[in-house]
Amino acid sequence: MNNKEKELIAHAKNALKFAYAPYSKFKVGCAILTKDGKIFTGTNIENASYGLTICAERVALFKAISEGAYDIIKLAIYTESKVFTYPCGACRQTLIEFNPNLELLIINEQNQIKRLKLSALIPYPFSKDILK
């Protein structure tokens, strides 16, 4: 693991501290790395109207995109869970819009890391190419 990946994971872990999860009690921290080395973080934010809840991955992505950072190359997700926690379907679809080959680092509470490509989680996405 290189230093930038260590930094990315540290940011994801720190983001978890800011989770607003009074209903599920399941906190998630996320950090996205861009091609130019910038890091954007996100955490899950729940709402009493469950449908308005937003996941950590989309928060981090939307922060990056809203600041003009479209070249996302890596994403770290950290949870205090014994099992690996993967992005939900909505996050997968949203992320794949920007990089189907996005590298994911999934980190559990034992600091075990699983590496995979986003395309492995959503092999047949709805794509902007379909709209042409």
Query: Residue 128 pLDDT more than 90?
Result: no
Out of 57, 67, 103, 109, pick the active-site residue: 57
Write the CB contacts of 112 (distance below 8 Å, at least 6 apart in sequence): 84
* Rounded Cα–Cα distance for residues 48 and 115 (Å): 33
CATH placement of domain 3-86: 3.40.140.10
Query: Residue 54 pLDDT more than 90?
Result: yes
Between CA 118 and CA 125, with CA 120 as vertex, the angle to 5 degrees is 75
pLDDT tens figures, 62-115:
999 999 999 999 999 999 999 999 999 999 999 999 999 999 999 999 999 999
Determine whether 57 is an active site residue. yes
Give the number of other Cβ atoms within 10 Å of residue 84's Cβ: 15
> If residue 5 lies in a helix (H) or strand (E), which one and from where to where?
helix 3-16
